Amino acid sequence: MAHKITEDCVSCGACASECPVNAISEGSDTYVIDADTCTDCGNCVDVCPAEAIVKG
């Protein structure tokens, strides 16, 4: 199951630069994860300062 970014996202972009498959992009209010591309590696979870990324 892919990860998802909650409303706690502070739009810092740390997660996007850590994603090995470029599944994370900047949305209108927060960053978003493309569930079809996400490989569930967890790199984004490890670097999120707001702890805003959870299992989808």
**pLDDT of 3 over the 90 cut:** yes
Mean of pLDDT over the chain: 96
**pLDDT of 11 over the 90 cut:** yes
In this prediction, residues 19-40 reach a mean pLDDT of: 96
**pLDDT of 56 over the 90 cut:** no
**pLDDT of 1 over the 90 cut:** no
In this prediction, residues 43-48 reach a mean pLDDT of: 97
| In the chain, domain spans | 3-55
Q: Per CATH, the architecture of 3-55 is what?
A: 2-Layer Sandwich (3.30)
Taking the model in full, what pTM does it have? 0.91
HEC letters along the chain: CCEEECCCCCCCCHHHHHCCCCCEEECCCCEEECCCCCCCCCHHHHHCCCCCEEEC
